[in-house]
Structure 1
Amino acid sequence: MIRLLMSGLLLAAAPVVDTQPIDPVLHTLMEGDAAQAHGDPDTLIDMAQLLDTLGAKPAEGQEDLAALWTREASDHGANGSPLAYRGRALGPAYRRGSLNAGGTVTMRQLFFAGQRAQISVAPSGPTAKLSVRVRNADGGTLCAKPVGGPQADCAWMPIFTDRFDIVIANSGAEPAAFYLVVR
């Protein structure tokens, strides 16, 4: 009985692990997805405004989620309040993608010499088995890591302005969705 009681007390005292990404853009994208899935127009419009305020823009060929979420929320009567935030002049770009089991995707991205480059990847679901790799123009690996927990980040300082390959792979047996934020 005491052993059972002690186990219960230890579980109650265990820290709660936040599975949301730390990056504000990734966090906003995930919260917006959840609001859209649960039909919560008030949260959806808030996330649309926050995404816009953060300066995040869709990568080329990607859907503008801030505009989509604003339309959907407005269609359901939501009208959020303006946010007070001043961010970077050129904000981050985001991309939403999905990979079949065993699939990979490679994206080429230009980064400027002498300016810190950073990417962040977050899985859309808790069971995704994703990894990210960044390669320079010569094929050398600058960063390689699993996308575990809420997000994986890679940062480096390019010596020359050049294009870099961002490779995301799904080693799982199920399809996996993800967000990529490029700063």
Structure 2
Amino acid sequence: MIGARLIAAGLAGLALASCATAPADVAPPPGSPTAASESRAARLARTLLAAERAEAADDGPALAEAAERLARIAPEAASEADEARLARWLEALPEDAPPMRGRALGPAYRSGTLDPGASATLEQTFLGGRAAQIVLRVAKGPDLRLTVRDQADRQVCDGRADPVECRWTPLYTQRHRIEIANDGPRVSKFYIVFD
């Protein structure tokens, strides 16, 4: 009887252990359902966080892995500071890294910080009839609020829990207003990806 209970407890422990999830900045295993369903924008946002954390921890192997993923995605930095940071991270690529092939242009991204109670407004044009996506990831600090409105001031997206992922298909090509707000008590550092 005791042996049966120990076996049942062990099986329950194994079942629970298999339910554990990886941290949001760890790449899902290639070929897994998560890897196949993850959008390019979400993959870039996760990879940017992984590169920043690896650099802060002075973890060369983790930074090299993040740099390889960044090179495959080929993002476009939206500011000089982001461009310099991306170049610094890409310097961690191993010298014998295989050549990257594929898309000439990748999704664009920008990083920033918001003080408590502050907000930032960005504008971005999305093409009509093509799926649009914005992903907002917090690197440090409280969650941020993301609101996206089209040219007619209609709300397209409103999200508050990290990560915020907005997906929609505009009827026609138009500019969208993107507001990021920090309603939390501390400074928040973030990455926003447009695809």
Band of TM-score, shorter chain: 0.7 to 0.9
1:49 is aligned to 68
Gaps of 5+ in 2: 1-8, 26-37
**Aligned counterpart for 1:178 among listed residues 183, 186, 190:** 190
Equivalent AA in structure 2 for residue 30 of structure 1:
L
Deviations 1:97-117 (A, max 9, x none): 110001111110011111111
Match runs of 1:134-149 below 5 Å: 134-148=148-162
Q: Secondary structure in 1 aligned to 2:116?
A: coil
Distance 1:85 1:34 in 2: 24
Contact 1:111 1:158 (C-alpha < 8 Å) held by counterparts: yes
Equivalent AA in structure 1 for residue 160 of structure 2:
P
Q: Secondary structure in 2 aligned to 1:53?
A: helix
Q: Percent identity?
A: 31
Contact 1:49 1:83 (C-alpha < 8 Å) held by counterparts: no
Give 1:79 shift. Answer: 2.7
Give 1:85 shift. Answer: 5.9
TM-score of the superposed pair, with normalisation by structure 2? 0.75
Distance 1:134 1:19 in 2: 27
Contact 1:103 1:171 (C-alpha < 8 Å) held by counterparts: yes
Gaps of 5+ in 1: 1-5
1:93 is aligned to 108
1:3 is aligned to none
The reply to whether residue 152 of structure 1 matches residue 164 of structure 2 is yes
Distance 1:97 1:46 in 2: 24
**Aligned counterpart for 1:58 among listed residues 77, 82, 88:** 77
The reply to whether residue 165 of structure 1 matches residue 184 of structure 2 is no
Q: Which has the higher helix share?
A: 2
Match runs of 1:74-113 below 5 Å: 79=94, 81-83=96-98, 86-113=101-128
TM-score of the superposed pair, with normalisation by structure 1? 0.79
CA RMSD of aligned residues (A): 2.5
Equivalent AA in structure 1 for residue 20 of structure 2:
V
Higher relative contact order (CA 8 A, sep 6+): 1
Contact 1:55 1:90 (C-alpha < 8 Å) held by counterparts: yes
Contact 2:71 2:100 (C-alpha < 8 Å) held by counterparts: no
Contact 2:142 2:185 (C-alpha < 8 Å) held by counterparts: no
The reply to whether residue 27 of structure 1 matches residue 41 of structure 2 is no
**Aligned counterpart for 1:131 among listed residues 113, 121, 145:** 145
Distance 2:101 2:186 in 1: 40
Contact 1:52 1:66 (C-alpha < 8 Å) held by counterparts: no
